[in-house]
Amino acid sequence: MIESIHEFWTVYGSLITGGAVIISAILAFVTIYSNRKMAKRRGTLDLIMHIESDGDLIAARKEFIKLKKGEFNSAKWGKEDEKDSEEANNIRTTLNVNELVAVSIKEGVIDEMVFRRWFNGAYIDDYQTMTGYLNEVRNYKNNPKIFCEFEALAKKWQDDKDWDGKPNWMTRKWKAICNIFAA
């Protein structure tokens, strides 16, 4: 009996050991991936909670929303002579948060789907109503890159015809794979 165990281990031992190492490595990668995904979601929720509870951001957002209501010409507040006005400061504060979100999503720091499910309509509306402001600020500062991440993300969300408020994982994963090979 001992000879048969020894013979079995001599023949198959390296395969069993190698298989165990491969399975352990796969499980480690799955665990790391899962932990990173949860950390991104947690970071996203922390950011949303900060945006929704910070007094200065709430006040700026309230004033920003008041400005957007009615007849609103965002380009007026983007001119250089208005840059120090309270209205321009509220607009800038709100758009800076939007730019930070766009950069964070692009860099993979926060989860796009979680953030989008919370702010989708408001984010796109902010971009649509502020295009005049963006153009004016870019012109007087002679910098076409100002708020470019915000603009790119808002346009992406605006053009996404598959969005229904729920993550359509297969469609999105397939598009992501296609984009990798298209580049």
Residue 37's pLDDT is 85
Classify the C-alpha dihedral 49-55-56-58 as positive or negative. Answer: positive
What confidence tier does 149 reach under pLDDT thresholds 50, 70, 90?
very high
Give pLDDT tens digits for 67-92.
888 777 888 888 889 889 999 999 99
* Token reading at 100: 């930070």
Which of 127, 122, 171, 120 lies closest to 149 in space, CA to CA?
Answer: 127
Q: What element of type H or E holds 76?
A: helix 74-78
In Å, how far are 17, 133, 158 from 77, measured between CA atoms? 68, 6, 24
Mean pLDDT across the chain: 87
- The number of residues in the chain equals 183
Tell me: pLDDT of 107 over 90. yes
User: Rounded to the nearest 10 degrees, how much is the dihedral formed by the CA atoms of 128, 130, 131, 135?
Assistant: -170
**Which is higher by pLDDT, 154 or 68?**
154
Tell me: pLDDT of 99 over 80. yes
Q: 109: how many CB neighbours lie within 10 A of its CB?
A: 15
Classified as helix, coil or strand, 171 is helix
Q: Put residue 71 in one of left, alpha, beta given phi > 0 → left and psi -120 to 50 → alpha.
A: beta
Angle subtended by helix axes 55-68 and 86-106, to nearest 10: 110
Tell me: pLDDT of 6 over 60. yes
**133 vs 150: CA distance, rounded Å:** 13
Report CA 105 to chain centroid distance, whole Å. Answer: 2
Residue 112's pLDDT is 92
Predicted TM-score (pTM) of this structure:
0.74
